Amino acid sequence: MSTEEQIALLERIAGALERLAPTTPPAPDFGEAEAFTWHAKPPGFEPVAKVARVDLGLLEGISRVRDLLFSNTERFARGLPANNALLWGARGMGKSSLVKAVHGALAGAGRLKLVEINREDIESLPLLLSALREEPFRFIVFCDDLSFDGPEASYKSLKTALEGGLAGRPANVVFYATSNRRHLTPRQMIENEQSSAINPGEAVEEKVSLSDRFGLWQGFHNCSQGDYLAMVSAYARHFGLTASEPTLRAEALEWSITRGARSGRVAWQFIVDLAGRMGKNLG
């Protein structure tokens, strides 16, 4: 093979490697919006013109976890150390609403940004973090409804991105996730790996150690009837939905019975129905 042919072959190999290896995507102007959505294919950030969220003061029945997450985020926004946070527990109790509300309450200065990554794109998290590392802003990278169900290894990418690896997590990034599961993986998945492992205890530790990467664990539990009614009353006052307390209480309880559950989500759905019947907007 001639020298010219060798050079041409090497150029083709180099070009193929460049196409296979992910490159850091060009960063947008993070000053143009307070929230962004990350897309893995092709990699890039999409600005969110208006975040769908409620006011932090409207989140009733979760005051303790609300205050803990707010304090953690407020310290992070000021450039101080802060923990990754896992919000786990009952459905519809305001886990994702709390993350967005806390960000909204602290985003006024313009330096704190929210970046949402979809569960399906978790394997691209190292690339996302690389794109944020040198930016002058502070970022909450948020994944809603995070869990792992099958024989997948993307949870290992998450472990490495959060605390492991040579570079580690960028100092200007915290990772917040919500999940219905405390350990992010179902019991059956853990037991299957335990039964086939040489050392069963190590298989369990491998799965559980993912949750250990979150320094802040916050549990959300099914709300009581009193908490549910407090949520309904707070929403009604905020949006000016005038109804007598007995009527509001009776209709809200009937609504929860028909749904078979009491939660913040059910309370909000009732308020949407009530506002519609009253001919009022919730904007």
CA separation for the pair 211, 181 (Å, rounded): 10
154 and 242: one domain? no
Query: Is 15 part of a structural domain of the chain?
Result: no
Buried b (16+ CB within 10 A) or exposed e, 51-85: eebbebebbbbbeebbeebbebbeebbeeeebbbb
Q: What's the pLDDT at 151?
A: 54
Q: What is the pLDDT of residue 182?
A: 66
* 180 domain-assigned: yes
The predicted structure's pLDDT at residue 194? 47
pLDDT of residue 37: 96
Domain boundary at 220, 249, 264, which?
A: 220
CATH of the domain at 88: 3.40.50.300
Residue 21 CB partners (closer than 8 Å, separation 6+): none
CA distance 112 to 120: 25
Predicted TM-score (pTM) of the model is 0.79
Last residue of a domain, one of 186, 201, 220: 220
- Per cent of the chain over pLDDT 90 is 47
Torsion over CA: 206, 210, 215, 219 (sign): negative
**Which of the two residues, 265 and 6, has the higher pLDDT score?**
265
Q: Is residue 195 part of a domain?
A: yes
Instruction: Decide which of 156 and 247 is more confident.
Output: 247
Average confidence (pLDDT) over 251-273: 94
Q: What's the pLDDT at 60?
A: 85
pLDDT at 54: 87
Q: What is the spatial distance between Cα 268 and Cα 88, in angstroms, rounded to a whole number? A: 20
Counting the structural domains of the chain, the total is 2
Q: Which of 220, 244, 270 is the last residue of a domain?
A: 220
- Among 10-14, 162-166, 195-199, 267-271, name the one with the lowest average pLDDT: 195-199
Q: Are 149 and 189 in contact (CB under 8 A)?
A: yes
Cα separation of 93 and 99, whole Å? 12
CB atoms within 10 A of CB 95: 27
Please report where in the chains the tokens 């208006």 appear, as a residue: 50
Q: Which tops the pLDDT comparison, 197 or 3? A: 3
List the beta strands (DSSP E) in the chain. 35-40, 43-47, 85-89, 112-117, 138-143, 173-179, 216-220
User: Are 210 and 269 found together in one domain?
Assistant: no
Give domain status of residue 8, yes or no: no
What is the predicted pLDDT for the residue at 257? 95
In a domain, 11, yes or no: no
Judge if 123 and 169 occupy the same domain. yes
Asked if residue 211 lies in contact with residue 184, where contact means CB atoms within 8 angstroms, the answer is: yes
The band of 91, judged by pLDDT with boundaries at 50, 70 and 90, is confident
The string of DSSP codes covering 172-239 is TEEEEEEESSSSSS-HHHHHHHHHHSSSHHHHHHHHHHHHHT-SEEEEE-PPPHHHHHHHHHHHHHHT
Which tens digits make up the pLDDT trace of 24-42?
666 778 988 999 999 988 8
16 located within any domain: no
Q: Are residues 173 and 84 part of one domain?
A: yes
Are residues 164 and 252 located together in one domain of the fold? no
Q: What is the pLDDT of residue 214?
A: 84
The per-residue pLDDT for 83 is: 94
The reply to whether 229 and 214 lie within a common domain is no
Same-domain check for residues 56 and 165: yes
Sequence-ordered list of residues with C-beta below 8 angstroms from that of 225, at least 6 positions apart, any chain: 253, 262
Judge whether 89 and 55 are in contact, CB under 8 Å: no
Lowest-pLDDT range of 14-18, 46-50, 109-113: 14-18
* Residues 153, 61 share a domain: yes
Q: 241: pLDDT confidence band, cut at 50, 70 and 90? A: very high
* Per-residue pLDDT band at 106 (split at 50, 70, 90): very high
Domain containing residue 79: 30-220
> Are residues 191 and 274 both part of a single domain?
no
Q: Which residues, at least 6 apart from 25, have a Cβ–Cβ distance to it below 8 Å?
A: 42, 43, 44, 45, 127, 131
| C-beta of residue 73 within 8 angstroms of C-beta of residue 106 | yes
pLDDT at position 150 is 57
Residue 253 has pLDDT above 70, yes or no: yes
Residue 24 lies in a domain: no
Average pLDDT, the chain: 83
Residue 204 pLDDT exceeds 60: no
In terms of domains, do 110 and 186 share one?
A: yes
Place of tokens 């024989």: 151
Average pLDDT score over residue span 200-224: 72
Domain-located, residue 84: yes
Pick 123 or 142 by higher pLDDT.
Answer: 142
How far apart CA 226 and CA 221 sit, in angstroms, is 14
From residue 123, alpha-carbon distances to 114, 157, 158 in Å are: 19, 6, 7
Check residue 154 and give its pLDDT.
65
| Same domain membership, residue 207 and residue 184 | yes
Q: What pLDDT score was predicted for residue 28?
A: 79
What percent of the chain clears pLDDT 70, i.e. is strictly above it?
Answer: 78
Query: 131 and 231 share a domain?
Result: no
Round to whole Å and give the CA distance between 95 and 219.
9
> Are the C-beta atoms of residues 16 and 121 closer than 8 Å to each other?
no
